Structure 1
Amino acid sequence: MPTGFRLVSVTFAGIGAMLLLGGLAVLNSASAVAAYAGPAGSAVAGVGVVLGAVGVVHLAAGYGTWRFRSWGRLLGLVVAVGGLLSSLPLVVLGGPAGVGGLLLHGGIAWYLYTTGERYARLRQTRA
C-alpha cells in the first residue's frame, strides 16, 4: 500500500475515533447538564449525537480508503471538503486550529483528488 493512502486512511481513522469518543463523552454528560440546566441537556445530547455520527463517517472513510473500496475515495473527498468548510470559521476567528484544519483537510482533498487513476489501479489489483 502506498504511504500516501496509508497516511490518509490512518488520519481519517484517528480523527473518527476521537470524534466518536468525544461524542460519547458529551452524550454521557448530557444528563448532568439536564439536571442543572433543564432543556439545555437535550441540546448537549444533540451535539454528542452529531459528533458521534461525524466520527462514524470518518471511520468509514478511513476503512474505505484503506481497503480501496469503490466508495472510499469519494467519501474521503466529501469528508475532507467538510473538514475544510468546518475550518473556515476558525480561520476567520483567528485560531491556529483553523489554519491547521485547512492545511490537513486541504492536503487530504488534494491528494485524493489528484490520485484518482492510481486509486482505481490499486483497487483493481486488490480485487
Structure 2
Amino acid sequence: MLRALFARNPLTVILFTLLVALAVGLGIAITAQERALRQGSARAADRFDLIVAAPGSQTDLLFSAVYLRPTAVELLSGPVAHRVLSDPDAAFAAPLALGDSVAGSPLSAPPAHSSTT
C-alpha cells in the first residue's frame, strides 16, 4: 500500500515526510530552549536566600531584584530598611533602590539648571 502511494504521488509523500521531520525538529529545539531558560533562571535566583520588600506584586519584585528589570516597586519604610540592613545574622544585605517621601509623595532631586550664555 505504501509503495503504491509513493509510486502514485512521490512529491506529496516527500513533502509530507519533510513536514513531519520539520515539526519534530522544532519540537525538540523548543523543548531544549525551554529547559535551558528554566535552568538559567533558577541559577540566577539561587544567589538570593531572602528578598525583603514592601507589599506589592511578587512577580514584579522578583524581576526587579533578581533580573534587575526596572519596575515601580514601593520602598521599605526607613526603620524597616535600617533593621534589615543592620541585621547581624545577614552575611550580606544590599538595597536595590534608595529614596524618601513626604506625605506619600516621592522626593526627587531638583532639575539641573543650565545657563545659555
Asked if these proteins are the same fold (TM beyond 0.5), I'd say no
- Answer with 1 or 2: which has the greater Rg: 2
Structure holding more helix per residue: 1
Higher relative contact order (CA 8 A, sep 6+): 1
Q: TM-score, normalised by structure 2?
A: 0.29
